[in-house]
Structure 1
Amino acid sequence: MAALLLDAEEFSPLIRAPLGGGHDEKWLQALLFAHPGVIPIERIDPGAGSLVPICRELALPKDGASVFLDLLAVTAHGRLVLVECKLWRNPQARREVVAQVLEYAALLRRWSYADLTARLKASLKWSGANPLFSHVRRTVPDLDEVGFVEAVSRSLKSGDFDLVIAGDGIRADLEVLAGHLEGSNARLALVEIQLWTDGAGRTVVVPALPLRTEVLHQRVIVDGEGVPLRLEEPGDAVEAMEALADPERAASRDGNRAFWQCFIDGVRFDHPDQPVPRHGGNNWVKIPLPAPARWLTAYRTADEAGLFLPLDGDGGEALFERLAEAAAALRDESGLDLAFIRKQAEPFKGSMAVKRLLSDFASLEAQTAWFCNAANRLVNALRPRLSVEGA
């Protein structure tokens, strides 16, 4: 297939060809990776310069699993570009794709430049001290290493990304959803990929840009040098999208948030240094803990309620082993039937968890009371051990 770009006035001799068959999302992903010029980056992000593809199917760890970003790229000025490819035959994809790309941005925002480098070395078999810079310099020969590393680091810290949704037909409902997004420190662009064929069987690939947002501002806490220390989670943007696309699901989310707000308002911790919980995603909250742990997660599903301490990586594995050795004491101190779960060996993923069936509770108030009691007991049992670990 010859991938060509033509001006709009040259379209008349061509016939529009719908994507389908071999032209699926994987095909579109491969096309954009091989021909990044199809993405009109200068119209999305004026002054961005060259767009350099980095990798396809980047694994982004989240609690209990990983999600995969279709395409990661970077501009010559060090801004990361996240691309998600979607065909619109599936109506559910239209409702979820904006939330999906926002989730990917939120997960990537947790990484440092060193985290990104390590992941690329592992997945792409790259080597060297700074393989990302070396890769981009092949396209941008005059690239300054220090400036590039600082720019990518800023992009990660602040969540200052270009988010691109590329598909075969941007529907009006998706434009409405994107137009109502708030709470993301990123640019969002919808890129429609059109296929046209001529009488000789040649295929022409033409991008269109039906929507491009400006930077969508959010509340940011910064240090003395203006570097963001914490950004609000993109939950408000997801909720706005769902309210438009799926009112029933939005109502369920509102009910879940109200339940967890009652827990946040009602829980009382014996430990004087314990911060209050804060909302996470739909139907779960974070209970902050000191290093080397991060937080306890309190959650509800359709049929169970529980709390778990997520542990991953080398540090998480070491802590898991120490807590597992003290399992009997932890169960005795907390009065909870704690389970120690090894989910994955390499890289390590595990958790310490307790759960109950929702059918065990007579009311929402009983659920709230159990969460308050169990959270306080777990904090009391864990914090002294974490203080020793972090010392």
Structure 2
Amino acid sequence: METSSPIPFAPSTTIPLPLPGEVFLAGSQGLMPLAPHHCRNEAAELQSLLVRHPGLLPSRQINPDDPPRWLLIQEEMPVPDPTNGVDRWSLDVLFVDHLAIPTFVECKRMLDTRSRREVVAQMIEYAANGHHYWDAVDMRARAEKSLGSEALQSWITTHTAVSDPEAFFQQVQANLRDAKIRLIFFLEEAPPSLPSLVDFLNKQLNATEVLLVEARQYRMAEGAGAGLPQDQRIIVPRVFGYTEQARVAKRASRQEVVNAMGGGSTGGEEAFLAALAEGALPEATRTAIQTLLDAWSHTPEENQPYWKFLKTANLVLPHKQTKRNLIQLCADGAIGISFGYWNLECYPNSPPAMQDTFTRLVQQLQERCGWHFTAEQLKGYPYVKPDKWLAHTHTLIDIFNSL
């Protein structure tokens, strides 16, 4: 198989923070208190932990409508000195997301006294200098080294609206040059002054997002939970700095990014059909696409599936108590399956109709089309190329109509 929601966050002062003895693990032994865990080794307990588990950057808090999917470029990313071009500093972690937005991350433990003005100045300096020295070729090579070329291709095909790594990294470079980037301070506990500083910066910068992710850690309190592993930790990440006011300030810039990646809200049916006409698709692919388009209404209908046209054609099932896309039909002939919008692990509180739909969709695609997806794909947005779905055109229509 080839693969290819905004929430206003309350200021930190309105959220009472847990105190020692206020966080518990409920189990067969009753309530076991958890104690705050303060990192001793910044690299091992924060930086490397984040590299292994990028989900600690809470995507749904950052953008509930379109949660970022993270791609590691490099840990300890070299940053050159602008005066001589020699690598002088290193950024803790450089990610990009599925919209090709470079994401700078600096990790600091609570006991590091630099977690205030110095770390903010340091981050801005990195962003300013990386802007001049990192390019598409360099970042792609580093991502391939971090992930492997095949895994990188799979990630781009699965999570983005493009299938060509070169095109994706050219957009990463363009966003970097235009300061359409994201700066994240990743701390186990933020000093009181930093959230307000980050919030101020975030409101002033129209293209650059500045966020603070506080990842508080807890472990089993001493003497509690006999027989249970004492080295396990609970990590609770939450985002500061992205108020509704900041979202409004960045709306135009972020829409430009979305449009550049082929996912903008502009377009419509005429634009989609025009893109189809301009493409050099084989006649069999054009016929199959038209068959799918003819199977459902092109305007919203109550309790009936319909196509919603952006720069892609998106099949919506309103009778399943959701307006989330089920599939995405692209102008290059690929079909994207929006498992990520329907997966129970991603949306555990989804209504029963959605849960049943997801289960039956996966089952029927396996049984009737012979398609099998990895656990990661079932949480994401895999793309199926035309040579894999053309023979199943009418079967797909039957499957979607039966949901």
| TM bracket, shorter-chain basis | 0.3 to 0.5
1 or 2 for the larger relative contact order (CA 8 Å, sep ≥6)? Answer: 2
Decide which structure has greater strand share.
Answer: 1
Q: TM-score, normalised by structure 2?
A: 0.45
Q: TM-score, normalised by structure 1?
A: 0.46
